[in-house]
């Protein structure tokens, strides 16, 4: 029951149905508590934190992650610990807390490095080095406030994720390309930005994810303005055409 409700929450959240997602998350959390499944309960709290990050409530996200970490402090396996640390790092990035972000990211890397051969629940098996690279690309939050300091590092993390998970990753693959395109714009690499935006639109067209389209819409403003080069205008048109479908 808890896992069914958790899956429903993720689908609702991905479709942009935030209130419905919150309802499903609460059902999943109650079911996990009733079953005594503290590990899945922590996973649900991490999902709730992710939702808070997307609606720009990083302090609420951090409190949810800390609650999850406290509940499994002595029992969580390395993949679950690593995933929770990435949520923690993401919250710190959104709050502009650079040192805390880097500390939490190191904890995630250290935890995942010991995951080989450790038995963990099937629902956390997805969290591997590619996933770690992709979510630490969440340092985009830092890059937006200080591109010179953080955009290049975010770009490298996202490239690492793209190298490890291809188009079959669907939503994650599209989000990686969108993030990489934004990094290119932040770095002032217009040629690279146009090319990666084309890739982003192509990847987005292969998924029905509402979240992917939301992120693509946030990329659109980078492509407007006077005097933008032809390739960027073409990328802008592709974004507009896809979002209009």
CB contact set of 22 (below 8 Å; sequence gap of 6+): 9, 48, 51
Interior angle at CA 135, CA 94 and CA 82, nearest 5: 100
- State how far the Cα of 130 lies from the Cα of 133, in Å rounded to an integer: 5
Asked if residue 194 lies in contact with residue 229, where contact means CB atoms within 8 angstroms, the answer is yes
Q: Which residues of the chain have pLDDT under 50?
A: none
Query: Which pLDDT tens digit goes with each residue over 36-91?
Result: 999 999 999 999 999 999 888 999 999 999 999 999 999 999 999 999 999 999 99
CA–chain centroid gap for 178, Å, is: 11
As given in the structure block, the two tokens for residue 57 are 């409530």
What pTM did the predictor assign? 0.88
Cα of first residue to Cα of last residue in the chain, in angstroms, is 35
Transcribe 64-110 into DSSP letters.
Answer: HHHHHHHHTTTT--HHHHHHHHHHHHHHHHHTT-HHHHHHHHHHHHH
CB contact set of 95 (below 8 Å; sequence gap of 6+): 58, 59, 62
φ/ψ region of 71 (left if φ > 0, alpha if ψ in -120 to 50, else beta) reads alpha
Query: Which pLDDT tens digit goes with each residue over 103-113?
Result: 999 999 999 99
Query: Tokens 């802008």 belong to which residue?
Result: 236
Asked if residue 91 lies in contact with residue 62, where contact means CB atoms within 8 angstroms, the answer is yes
217 by Cβ neighbours in 10 Å (0-12 / 13-18 / 19+) ranks as middle
CB contact set of 7 (below 8 Å; sequence gap of 6+): none
CA-nearest of 175, 244, 158, 176 to 209 is: 175
């Amino acid at each position: 029951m808890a896992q069914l409700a958790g899956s429903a929450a993720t689908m609702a959240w991905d479709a942009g149905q935030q209130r419905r997602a919150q309802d499903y998350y609460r059902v999943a959390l109650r079911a996990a508590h009733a079953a005594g499944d503290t590990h899945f309960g922590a996973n649900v709290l991490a999902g709730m934190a992710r939702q808070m990050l997307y609606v720009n409530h990083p302090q609420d996200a951090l409190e949810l992650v800390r609650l999850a970490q406290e509940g499994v402090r002595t029992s969580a396996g390395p993949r679950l610990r690593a995933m929770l640390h990435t949520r923690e790092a993401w919250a710190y990035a959104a709050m502009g807390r650079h040192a805390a972000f880097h500390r939490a990211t190191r904890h995630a890397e250290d935890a995942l490095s010991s995951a080989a051969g450790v038995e963990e629940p099937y629902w956390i098996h997805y969290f591997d080095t590619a996933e770690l690279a992709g979510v630490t690309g969440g340092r985009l939050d830092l890059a937006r406030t200080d591109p010179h300091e953080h955009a290049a590092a975010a770009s490298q993390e996202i490239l690492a994720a793209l190298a490890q998970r291809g188009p079959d990753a669907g939503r994650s693959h599209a989000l990686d390309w969108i993030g990489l395109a934004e990094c290119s714009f932040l770095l002032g690499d217009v040629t690279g930005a146009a090319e990666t935006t084309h890739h982003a639109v192509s990847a987005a067209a292969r998924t029905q994810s509402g979240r992917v389209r939301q992120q693509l819409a946030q990329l659109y403003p980078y492509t407007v303005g006077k005097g933008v080069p032809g390739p960027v205008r073409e990328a802008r048109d592709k974004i507009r055409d896809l979002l209009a479908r």
